[in-house]
């Protein structure tokens, strides 16, 4: 039997680098998605469709907790949730399409988390937004190691300004700001953190620029 109970959809905790305080925390997604689940499942007459909604949500929660989604996808998910929370459905649909382009080859199979996002948007058309939105925690402080990396990257940029044109300098400066925000929000995976540390230790400005572009 298919149950619409939100409790049944809560994932087991997983040991990973998952940031439980970030904008893509499962708690935040649950706060936005749980009120929509009944309406999303009601879009389907067959049990398979209803079960697909549950399966897709569980899959997304597990992928987040297991650290399987890169920071760029998490950033898009955070924007999707923000739009869904205030029922800006055109924006939510646009971000979902961006997620599809990023995470699939264009074909979205039923029951996947990407498929479920579409049905949550449709469900939101008939469900009023919550009076009180989930409040995401403030940006986290950088770890001592990452603070040192950011300081070193800024120093490397200052030293390289004479060899970079103004446009390139502005671009790298912007990327550094985006990197800091991504680090604070938990959107940077451990492998990328290690890569940044190695680049700083090697004092390789070209490699640093390449890393920031990724």
- Per-residue pLDDT tens digits of the chain, which is 214 residues long: 444 444 444 444 333 446 676 778 899 999 999 999 999 999 999 999 999 999 999 999 999 988 888 888 988 999 999 999 999 999 999 999 999 999 988 788 888 999 999 999 999 999 998 765 555 554 567 788 888 888 888 888 888 777 778 888 888 788 788 777 777 777 776 777 788 888 888 877 777 766 666 5
List the structure tokens of 143: 């770890």
Residue 122 is predicted with a pLDDT of: 96
Residues whose CB falls within 8 Å of the CB of residue 97, separated by 6 or more in sequence, listed in order: none
Burial environment of residue 14 by CB neighbours within 10 A (0 to 12, 13 to 18, 19 or more): middle
Judge contact between 22 and 59, C-beta under 8 A.
no
pLDDT at position 34 is: 95
Backbone angles phi, psi at 135, to 5 degrees: -95, 115
What residues contact residue 208 under an 8 Å CB cut-off, 6+ apart? 153, 156, 199, 200
- DSSP annotation of 86 reads T
The confidence score (pLDDT) of residue 31 equals 92
CB of 86 closer than 8 Å to CB of 10: no
Token reading at 141: 């402080």
Q: pTM for this one?
A: 0.66
- According to DSSP, residue 36 is labeled G
């Amino acid at each position: 039997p298919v149950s619409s109970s939100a409790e049944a959809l809560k994932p087991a905790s997983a040991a990973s680098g998952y940031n439980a305080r970030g904008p893509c925390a499962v708690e935040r997604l649950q706060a936005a998605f749980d009120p929509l689940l009944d309406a999303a499942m009601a879009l389907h007459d067959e049990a398979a469709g209803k079960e697909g909604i549950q399966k897709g949500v569980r899959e997304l929660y597990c992928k987040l907790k297991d650290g399987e989604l890169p920071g760029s996808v998490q950033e898009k998910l955070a924007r999707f949730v923000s739009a869904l929370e205030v029922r800006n459905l055109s924006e939510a649909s646009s971000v979902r399409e961006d997620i599809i382009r990023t995470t699939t080859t264009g074909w979205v199979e039923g029951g996947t988390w990407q498929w479920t996002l579409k049905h949550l948007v449709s469900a939101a058309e008939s469900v009023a937004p919550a009076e009180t939105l989930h409040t995401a925690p403030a940006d986290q402080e950088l770890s001592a190691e990452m603070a040192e990396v950011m300081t070193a990257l800024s120093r490397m940029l200052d030293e390289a300004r004479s060899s970079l044109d103004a446009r390139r300098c502005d671009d790298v400066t912007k990327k550094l700001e985006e990197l800091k925000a991504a680090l604070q929000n938990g959107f940077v995976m451990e492998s990328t953190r290690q890569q940044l540390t190695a680049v700083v230790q090697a004092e390789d400005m070209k490699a640093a620029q390449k890393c920031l572009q990724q």
